[in-house]
Structure 1
Amino acid sequence: MAGTQGSGILIGRDTPGRTDVQEFLSGHLADMYATSPADSVHALDHGALSDPAITFWTARQGSELVGCCALKQLQPGQGEIKSMRTAAHARGRGIATLLLAHLLEQARQSGYERLFLETGSQDFFAPARRLYHRHGFVDCPPFADYALDPNSVFMTRDLR
């Protein structure tokens, strides 16, 4: 796994099917279902994240998995951020910022012009919304196949 390194964290392409990644993503899905109504959970499991239209990265400190993120191609030049997650014990250390910066750079290098994301509207997701706003994302209407949902916040960022 080669990739960006910062603060002892190595970010690189990875496989969602790895055992530790599957466990990590299971925790992510459990949190999503614990904080949002089931029909408002849009997180993907490891099988869905293995789709060829999705690029998946993990952040590791040594061999320990401390975060992940994914980029799903919606159409040429447009993508959606999926599965941004930092391990609960590693939050507040800048890992999400490193992951997002890596994803944004990789998206630019791959020719993406615009990114979108969906996150929750509940207090649990407030840190995520602050992170995205700090990095130039703005609220937008639903995109792709999403519908207006009081439990969702939709955001976008122009990469040009």
Structure 2
Amino acid sequence: MTADDLDIRIDDLTSAASIALVQRHLAGMHDLSPAESVHALDVSALRHPSITVWSAWRHGELAGIGALARLDSTQGELKSMRVTETHLGTGVGRTILRHILAAARAEGLSRVSLETGSDAGFLAARTLYASEGFTECEPFGDYAPDPASTFMTRAV
């Protein structure tokens, strides 16, 4: 399997598969982080007009999701990146990330930032983001310093 066989499309979060993956993502964040440090959004929050969610499909099967929240006219925040268990390690996460960064650039955003966990359970995510040019930064937007969080940013 390669990233070339992915169909990435805007998702309105009405399909059972997409809703279930968002719910698994949120549950996973609660498994890995203290409740006060979980910043993942539920399905209703991801439906906010300032957020676009994309889903990646491989041969009709949901492979992953990712979202972009617009913070203002120049900055966005990466939200809810999640790859299904059967598609881990196949390039889905990187492909969704690159798709979101391209969409941000096309919309005229100049910067995309993110919050992820700081413990070992989030190492793969931090490694992916760093390999795509994200660097650690101070908290942004409404975030406060939190030892359970790592904040990252990059120009697009």
Give TM-score scaled by structure 1 length.
0.94
- Following TM superposition, where does structure 1 have runs of at least 4 consecutive aligned residues deviating by more than 4 angstroms? none
Q: Which residue number in structure 2 is paired with residue 9 of structure 1?
A: 6
Contact kept in structure 1, 2:7 and 2:57, CA below 8 Å: yes
Q: Which residue number in structure 2 is paired with residue 121 of structure 1?
A: 118
Within 5 Å, give how 1:42-61 maps onto structure 2. 42-61=39-58
Quick one: which amino acid aligns to residue 95 of structure 2?
L
Q: Runs of 5+ in structure 2 lacking a partner?
A: none
1:139 counterpart = 2:139: no
For 2:43, what is the secondary structure of its paired residue? Answer: coil
Following TM superposition, by how much is the alpha carbon of 1:15 offset from its aligned partner in structure 2, in angstroms? 1.0
- What is the rounded CA distance, in whole Å, between the counterparts of 1:18 and 1:139 in structure 2? 34
Q: Which residue number in structure 2 is paired with residue 72 of structure 1?
A: 69
Quick one: which amino acid aligns to residue 93 of structure 1?
T
Q: Which residue number in structure 1 is paired with residue 98 of structure 2?
A: 101
For 1:21, what is the secondary structure of its paired residue? Answer: helix
Contact kept in structure 2, 1:119 and 1:154, CA below 8 Å: yes
Question: What whole-Å deviation, never above 9, does each CA across 1:39-97 have from its counterpart, x for those lacking one?
Answer: 00000011000000001100011221110000000011100000011011210001011
1:41 counterpart = 2:38: yes
- What is the rounded CA distance, in whole Å, between the counterparts of 1:112 and 1:124 in structure 2? 30
- What is the rounded CA distance, in whole Å, between the counterparts of 1:151 and 1:18 in structure 2? 32
For 1:75, what is the secondary structure of its paired residue? Answer: coil
Question: What whole-Å deviation, never above 9, does each CA across 1:9-65 have from its counterpart, x for those lacking one?
Answer: 111111123221111111111110001000000000110000000011000112211
Q: Runs of 5+ in structure 1 lacking a partner?
A: none
For 1:157, what is the secondary structure of its paired residue? Answer: strand
Give TM-score scaled by structure 2 length.
0.96
1:82 counterpart = 2:79: yes
Q: Percent of counterpart pairs with the same letter? A: 45
Q: Which residue number in structure 2 is paired with residue 26 of structure 1?
A: 23
